[in-house]
Amino acid sequence: MFLAEERQWWYAGMREISDALLDRAGAAMPLLLDAGCGTGNNLLHLARRGRTVGVDLSEEALRFCRRRGVRAVRGSLLRLPFSDQTFDCVTSFDVLYHRWVTNDAEAVAELARVLRPGGVLLVRVPALKLLWGAHDEAVQSRHRYTRPEIRSLLASAGLTVLRASYANFFLFPLLAARRTLDRLTGRHGSDVQFLSPPVERAFLALLRLEARLVPWVSLPVGASLFALARKG
C-alpha cells in the first residue's frame, strides 16, 4: 500500500472521487480526521483543505505515517481518542468493513460523535457480496455493503446522507468476472498491484470520469461504495 497509494490506478482514481465529493459538500474544513488512516497518503492530500490528523489501530501503519511526515495517533474506531465535536470533516476509507471493526454501527456512532454540527463525514467501503474473492480474504474483510445498508448505518448515527453512490461502475463487469474466476480457481492474495502502463492509464481515466459524475449522479452498481453525510 505504501508503495502503490500515490500512483496506482485504483488508489489515484478513488482519491479523485473522494476529492470531488468533498468539493461538492462545500463546507469549511479547518480540522480533518482520517479514521483508519493506514500508511497516511490520504492525509497528505487532505492537508490542502485544512489541518489533518489520522488515527489507526496498527502500529505498523503509524510507522509508515511517520515516514510520510503526517500526524497520526494510535486508536480504534470503536473508541476514538478525541473529544466530542472536534472535527469539521471526518473521512474513513475502506475501514468499516474490516474484521478489526467488530461493530460497524458503534464505529459510525464514534465518527459522528467527534464531528462538529454542520461537519461532513465521507466513508468508502467495498460493495456487494457477489464480488467477494481472494482480495477480501487477504485484506481481512468482514463484509461488503449495499447502498441501503450504508444509508441505514449513517442515518442510525443521526447523520443526513447527502450522496450515496457506487463507484468503479464502468469496470464492474470485468471485476465481477475476475472475482468469479478467483473462486473457481482458488486463487489467493490481494489485488493491489501495478498493471501495464496503458492499462493503468485507461482504468484511471474511467475512474476520473466517475469522479465527474458521482457528486451529481448515484451510480447504480460498482465494486466500491461512497457515502457523504452531514451532522445536523
Higher pLDDT, 2 or 202: 202
Is there a domain that residue 1 lies in? no
Is there a domain that residue 45 lies in? yes
Is there a domain that residue 3 lies in? no
In this structure, what CATH number is given to the domain that contains residue 43? 3.40.50.150
Is there a domain that residue 4 lies in? no
Residue type, 6: E
DSSP string of 121-159? EEEEEEB-GGG--HHHHHTTB---B-HHHHHHHHHHTTE
Higher pLDDT, 172 or 2: 172
Lowest mean pLDDT among 22-31, 168-177, 182-191, 199-208: 182-191
Provide the domain limits for residue 153.
9-231
Is there a domain that residue 2 lies in? no
Element (H, E) at 59: helix 59-68
Whether residue 99 contacts residue 142, with contact meaning beta carbons closer than 8 Å, is answered with yes
End-to-end CA distance of the chain: 35
The C-alpha cell that represents 133 in the structure block: 474473492
- Total domains, the chain: 1
Q: Give the pLDDT confidence of 79-104 residue by residue, as tens digits.
A: 999 999 999 999 999 999 988 889 99
